[in-house]
Structure 1
């Protein structure tokens, strides 16, 4: 199992500017392109614009294992003939899918650019759009069902199966006492539901990061799911839970949002009884993990605004989610899936 690189990542992020990224594109891929920076948690991404089209240049953190990038590439290749909404890896001039940036040693990849607006910027989230999100995540999980790679069997801080130790480690870094107590209470409540059920959860390769910046939409449909950087072999139900978590942020009716996504997902990749029960608490648990990891990362990189991109919305949304009775959430999602009373 690969070790968690969480603690080595902040100080080893690449530091290319746009001119340097354009130079890499020319030297490694033969592209005459202008480059503009895209947000990233621990790597660097650049949008490349050429006369022939657009691409995304991804420059990996120096602490990232090559095998993890190979796993991501293999996963994108595996799903390429099954779904049309994920990026594809393009080779270097030398024919490699992973190149080494001259002068830095950072590993680099080029992937296709997908049109669409991030869900975070898409405005009104209609029921049809949310169901489309659920269907897209379900189709992706179905495509990944028979995929595996040794490198995704890793100890990873974003893995929801590791939520308890990650929260315990970083919760003291959440500076606001009220926020800290809220995360402690919400995560404990979620775990009370999840832990008795988890033995029944399926395990598979999961994308694990269908957040509102990694989902691209062209109303009324989802047209892209990008960034396989958080891929891990874990609970299959984590994927719809992550999608639900970020789609609920600042929403007027979080249960209706969750129901629409789960209905779409279940239609494409049916959930087990225990997984349906777990989706909502897993979604709240993901937001707790995000609050704790962000507190640690902001301590390391206080000037990186991207690390706080979801934190205000999480602080506003967690109290709303905490007020929803667990039985109401469970019954709402069971009804969305067309299921009767729980057998769990």
Structure 2
């Protein structure tokens, strides 16, 4: 599974027609209704609304996706529902065959894993850097996820994911795609800091399976209360990594465009720390982890423009 995510990003997304997906949903799940395409970085997703008003998300995985990794994500959702049933995560819909994952074949012969989840209603968080209402609830909700998952494990959990911060050093192989000299120098500076300050501590710090992408794009909030989280979606980057990596991944994008990034980070930290107290050694490397995550976003974006 070496740099597994890179393989997926280089593999073409599925391209089933709406009629094909309707037929598959009916045959395998007994679902009929209207289909609406949903955006996806690497898969093919649809929302289906049945005649009774029930809504589900149909997720057709990239052919490069390992079914064992999808199995981990679905078993994690079921584990969360048992441990903390009030956490707003999707439910897994089983097929007529009693399976959480079905295998389907595209016209080109490629095999794809298919699963269906309940559709969560809610609004996307406001894209407003001055709105701080969501920060502390995000920290608290992430901590609840951590607590819900701390007793969960899966054999595939330690696969090597490009988006896992503990592998940030491996971003160096993508540096040739950065042509601007100043940009290249800045990226190298933060990767050097990661190697010096973070790498030696990785074996010493708390680790478990985590969401690993708890950011506004993967959160739904109440229509009338932008600080209340009513949906947690997209467990596609779930992996076994450091707890502090998971937190840094959440904080990093929240700092962009804020006049007071330290204050923003502190608000998220307070919400998290009340439920999952942060250890001193974790706090010492948080700056370098946040910097590494922002570097990672930048480097991977630069590389993807060349694919």
Q: Would you say same fold, with TM above 0.5?
A: yes
Runs of 4 or more above 4 Å deviation:
none
Q: Given the alignment, which residue of 202, 208, 217 partners 2:221? A: 217
Question: How far did residue 260 of structure 1 move?
Answer: 0.7
Instruction: Please name the residue that 2:204 is paired with.
Output: 200
Change (3 A) 1:110 1:125: farther
Matches within 5 A, 1:115-154: 115-119=121-125, 121-123=126-128, 126-154=131-159
Instruction: Please name the residue that 1:329 is paired with.
Output: none
Stretches of structure 1 that go unaligned for 5 or more consecutive residues are: 301-344
Stretches of structure 2 that go unaligned for 5 or more consecutive residues are: none
The reply to whether residue 78 of structure 1 matches residue 61 of structure 2 is no
Instruction: Please name the residue that 2:165 is paired with.
Output: 160
Change (3 A) 1:108 1:197: same
Instruction: Please name the residue that 1:250 is paired with.
Output: 257
The CA deviation string for residues 214-251 of structure 1, in whole angstroms up to 9 with x for no partner, is: 12222122222211111111111111111101211222
Question: How far did residue 11 of structure 1 move?
Answer: 2.4
Instruction: Please name the residue that 1:262 is paired with.
Output: 269
- The answer to whether the Cα contact below 8 Å between 1:26 and 1:33 also exists between their aligned partners in 2 is no
Change (3 A) 1:284 1:117: farther
Q: Quick one: distance in 2 between partners of 1:45 and 1:178? A: 39
Question: How far did residue 125 of structure 1 move?
Answer: 5.8
- The answer to whether the Cα contact below 8 Å between 1:258 and 1:280 also exists between their aligned partners in 2 is no
Matches within 5 A, 1:1-344: 2-9=1-8, 10-51=10-51, 52-81=53-82, 82=84, 83-103=86-106, 105-119=111-125, 121-123=126-128, 126-165=131-170, 167-218=171-222, 219-300=226-307
- The answer to whether the Cα contact below 8 Å between 2:129 and 2:257 also exists between their aligned partners in 1 is no
Corresponding residue pairs, total: 297
Q: Quick one: distance in 2 between partners of 1:238 and 1:97? A: 29
SS of the residue corresponding to residue 132 of structure 1 reads helix
Change (3 A) 1:236 1:159: same
Change (3 A) 1:216 1:191: farther
Question: How far did residue 299 of structure 1 move?
Answer: 1.8
Report the RMSD for the aligned CA atoms in angstroms.
Answer: 2.0
- The answer to whether the Cα contact below 8 Å between 1:118 and 1:213 also exists between their aligned partners in 2 is yes
Instruction: Please name the residue that 1:306 is paired with.
Output: none
Calculate the TM-score normalised by the size of structure 2. 0.89
